[in-house]
Amino acid sequence: MKIKSERGFTGIDIAISVIVLFIFVSLIAMLVYNSNSSTREVELKSEATYLAIDEIEKIKNAGFDKYDTLNSRSTVDEDGNQLRNQPTGTEGFYKTIIIEDYAELNPEDTTIIPNLVKKITVQISYRFKAENQVVELSTILSK
């Protein structure tokens, strides 16, 4: 009597196939997640950069006179607007404006005339992956 070999899949074949399929699907899912996460990070950084550029342009258009009396210890401008951690108008983004007099940057040099040149730094902060991220741009204003 001849024993016919039966053709088909055994339980081990199916288990190995499922494991290999699971590994490939999880790798593809991880690649898609990382790609989406990187895209989101670039979008947030770009938006923060645009907001910082917009704020720098507003400062330049306002002119030196608006910032003449302000220094690094100032927390409000002449109109009473807060300079630190204020919403930008775009949800999730906050701005901080730091004004430094050139004389404050070099305190040992007594020949520098105060309130002649100001360094204005705009920081736009946002959260990404539970961490604070900051984009910072600076400009110089002079009389």
How confident is the model at residue 11, as a pLDDT? 83
Residue 106 has pLDDT above 80, yes or no: no
Predicted TM-score of the model (pTM): 0.73
Residue type, 5: S
pLDDT higher at 66 or 132: 132
The domain limits of the chain are 11-142
Q: Tell me the average pLDDT across 127-136.
A: 92
